[in-house]
Amino acid sequence: MERAEAYNLVKKHIKNKNLIKHMLATEAVMGGLAKRCAANVEMWRLAGLVHDLDYDQTAEQPEQHGLLAAKMLQELSFPAEIIQAVRAHNGLLGYERTSSLDQALYAADPVTGLIVAAALIHPNKKLSAIDSRFVLNRFAEKHFARGASREQIESCSRLGLSLEEFIGISLEAMQNASVELGL
């Protein structure tokens, strides 16, 4: 499936504009990670874009999040690697993260929220106004952006990345997509 078709699929199934922006941010981060990991950039970006495709339907049942999306993606003949990564990004499901794609999506998902929250507390409220050090300082504040799992973000080490490097790649990718993200 081409990116434009996948984006239309997202807009069809997701009504919350902020969730769509999160999915776009995850797409951007996954692209940056794919480049760093010498992986298939289009596939990794696509996984980031569609990873929360079932969120509106499963919001009240977090233990189901990822399963419905995987089924939808399977019916649309998405690559098995993307389907596996979508399932494995929800730790509640218990799917093992067996590939770099799985691990990247698992770590990228919460880092986008941390970075957006950091940008929004800056006086300029723009991604361009913050740097990695600013985000890392917010990361160290346990009560800041509590929904962004620090443990999940730190799992970037399984990709061979330090936390600092992972935050840098993620922030740069999101800064490059700042117009689309509205930040």
Q: CB atoms < 10 A from the CB of 109, how many? A: 25
Q: Which two tokens stand for residue 167?
A: 């935050």
pLDDT score for 70: 95
Q: Which two tokens stand for residue 181?
A: 């993200």
Task: Please answer whether residues 80 and 67 qualify as being in contact, where contact means their C-beta atoms are separated by less than 8 angstroms.
Answer: no
pLDDT digits (tens, 9 = 90+) for 153-165: 999 999 999 999 9
Round to whole Å and give the CA distance between 94 and 85: 12
| 138: pLDDT strictly greater than 90 | yes
Q: Which two tokens stand for residue 6?
A: 């996948």
Round to whole Å and give the CA distance between 160 and 162: 7
| 71: pLDDT strictly greater than 90 | yes
Rounded to an integer, the average pLDDT of 162-179 is 98
Computed over every residue of the chain, the mean pLDDT equals 96
Fold of 3-181: Hypothetical protein af1432 (1.10.3210)
Global confidence as pTM? 0.96
The domain limits of the chain are: 3-181
Nearest to 102 by CA among 94, 62, 76, 163: 94
| 94: pLDDT strictly greater than 90 | no
Task: Please answer whether residues 143 and 150 qualify as being in contact, where contact means their C-beta atoms are separated by less than 8 angstroms.
Answer: no
pLDDT digits (tens, 9 = 90+) for 3-50: 999 999 999 999 999 999 999 999 999 999 999 999 999 999 999 999
Task: Please answer whether residues 122 and 130 qualify as being in contact, where contact means their C-beta atoms are separated by less than 8 angstroms.
Answer: yes
